[in-house]
């Protein structure tokens, strides 16, 4: 039977591998957005309206163009979009945040021909003789690589995380290109300096593209949690791991958000374990897996084990950040807004002058983020209005453009994890005594 066109039939999409090809994708996206603006402007003029640049730019069609191109390129271009959507959303126009948020769940996978080329580069021309029953259709696809199931030479059921070609070599140019596009297009607020975040993102992405480093993080977490029967992690196969292919034992489970039909007590137990793990990572290990994508957590119904996957986005934190975050948490629990502001400034947040409306607004945002840990009670995430209240405050913060500054980088990554845990707890309608969990490190 003739092979069907993969790009049309099953969601696969060839990945541009050279810098020139990737830049051409960016240019095509910019051209499409510009054309979309002209068309929208003409449409509004015919309707008797005076179009604004913002209205012409942030149309559904342009949103699709941006999301489609970044999802096709994967790698750093897609990752920067994910980071901006999750971590600086309070500074971005809501429409842009919505565009970028689509990238968290929209990754294409590479066609079979391109996949085979990557495998030949990693294992040699006879790579297929190493594995039995290699499944070309991936189990999952993300921004850096895709995961394939197979059988190892010694008969174990394993998975191979295969990196997209060209991703590692294009990190700097991808980040610079997407930053330029966002600035030139006017999608980023004028005066908002995200360069420190972008520079750090390059370093973080280089680490994520090095699968030897991810293997080290996976082994470290495996040793630390080896005696904790709540969690299950894959085991690294060093002999089959390459810089662009990570070999692991297959650890299966159901999607973590599929347990909404389980009793309240079990949902609470699962969520308490995950939040406790997050606190352990920051306050004790100073090593946090910062990607809270739901796909990185699974659940085994027979045993109640939580399967932990994907440690590529693991980040080490300085002792000074951890200590200052403890001070921030203590101050929030005590309800001492002056100490909350002082701790936030030590962390690097821009708080504005004392006794100003802007300072009070930022304080309100921080107090809301820390709300679950303030009282010694089960925090009911399902009934919480935190997300709605934060959205309202973010609208108010946008009115103070002269004070805008990108948040401290370490806080960006940690709050990304916090936001993901809160979102999952809300999805599971969990009740968690976060106060009791965090006091283990604050007493």
- CA-nearest of 208, 106, 217 to 163 is 208
DSSP state of 113: H
Q: Note the pLDDT of residue 22.
A: 54
Question: What letter does residue 236 receive in the DSSP assignment?
Answer: B
Q: Which residues are catalytic?
A: 291
The number of C-alpha atoms within 13 Å of 211 and in the hemisphere containing its C-beta is 24
pLDDT exceeds 60 at position 49: no
pLDDT, position 359: 83
Which helix (H) or strand (E) element contains residue 428? helix 409-428
Q: Which of 182-186, 276-280, 417-421 has the lowest mean pLDDT?
A: 182-186
The pLDDT tens digits of the residues spanning 292-346 come to: 888 899 999 999 999 999 998 899 999 999 999 999 999 999 999 999 999 999 9
pLDDT at 47: 57
Cβ neighbour number for residue 202 with a 10 Å cutoff: 15
Average pLDDT, the chain: 79
Q: Check if the beta carbon of residue 314 is closer than 8 Å to that of residue 210.
A: no
Dump pLDDT digits (tens) for 156-179.
999 999 998 888 887 887 777 777
pLDDT surpassing 90 at residue 81: no
Structural domain boundaries of the chain? 6-108+174-185, 111-163+210-251, 253-443
Q: Is 414 helix (H, G, I), strand (E, B) or coil?
A: helix
Over residues 204-231, the mean pLDDT reads: 92
| pLDDT, tens digit, 9 for 90 and up, residues 366-424 | 898 899 999 999 999 999 988 788 777 766 666 665 555 667 888 888 988 998 899 89
Looking at residues 198-221, what average pLDDT do you find?
89
CATH number of 111-163+210-251: 3.30.200
Report the distance separating Cα 363 and Cα 350, nearest Å.
11
């Amino acid at each position: 039977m003739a092979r069907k066109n993969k790009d049309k039939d099953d969601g696969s999409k060839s990945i541009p591998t050279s810098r020139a090809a990737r830049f051409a994708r960016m240019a095509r996206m910019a051209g499409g957005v510009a054309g979309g603006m002209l068309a929208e402007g003409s449409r509004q003029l015919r309707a008797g309206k005076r179009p604004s640049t913002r209205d012409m730019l942030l149309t559904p069609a342009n949103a699709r163009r941006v999301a489609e191109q970044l999802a096709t390129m994967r790698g750093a271009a897609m990752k920067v979009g994910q980071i901006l959507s999750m971590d600086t959303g309070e500074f971005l126009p809501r429409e842009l945040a919505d565009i970028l948020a689509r990238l968290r769940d929209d990754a294409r996978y590479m066609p079979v021909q391109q996949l085979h080329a990557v495998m030949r580069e990693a294992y040699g021309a006879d790579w297929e003789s190493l594995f039995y029953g290699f499944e070309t259709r991936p189990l999952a696809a993300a921004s850096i690589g895709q995961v394939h199931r197979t059988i190892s030479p010694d008969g174990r059921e394993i998975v191979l995380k295969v990196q997209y070609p060209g991703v590692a070599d294009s990190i700097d140019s991808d980040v610079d290109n997407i930053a330029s596009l966002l600035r030139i297009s006017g999608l980023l607020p004028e005066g908002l300096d995200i360069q420190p975040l972008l520079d750090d993102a390059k370093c973080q992405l280089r680490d994520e593209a090095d699968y030897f480093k991810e293997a080290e993080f996976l082994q470290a977490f495996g040793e630390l949690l080896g005696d904790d029967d709540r969690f299950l992690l894959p085991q690294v196969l060093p002999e089959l791991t390459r810089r662009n292919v990570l070999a692991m034992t297959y650890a299966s489970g159901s999607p973590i958000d599929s347990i909404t039909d389980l009793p309240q007590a079990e949902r609470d137990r699962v969520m308490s374990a995950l939040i406790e793990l997050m606190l352990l990572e920051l306050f004790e290990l100073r090593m946090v897996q910062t990607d809270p994508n739901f796909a990185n957590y699974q659940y085994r119904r027979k045993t109640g084990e939580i399967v932990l996957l994907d440690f590529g986005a693991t980040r080490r934190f300085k002792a000074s950040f951890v200590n200052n975050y403890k001070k921030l948490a203590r101050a929030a629990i005590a309800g001492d807004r002056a100490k909350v502001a002082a701790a936030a400034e030590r962390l690097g947040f821009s708080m504005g002058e004392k006794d100003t409306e802007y300072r009070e607004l930022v304080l309100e945002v921080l107090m809301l983020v820390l709300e679950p840990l303030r009282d010694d009670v089960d925090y009911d995430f399902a009934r919480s209005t935190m997300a709605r209240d934060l959205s309202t405050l973010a609208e108010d913060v946008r009115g103070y453009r002269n004070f805008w500054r990108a948040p401290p980088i370490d806080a960006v990554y940690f709050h990304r994890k916090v936001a993901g845990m809160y979102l999952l707890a809300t999805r599971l309608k969990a009740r968690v005594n976060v106060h009791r969990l965090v006091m283990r490190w604050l007493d």
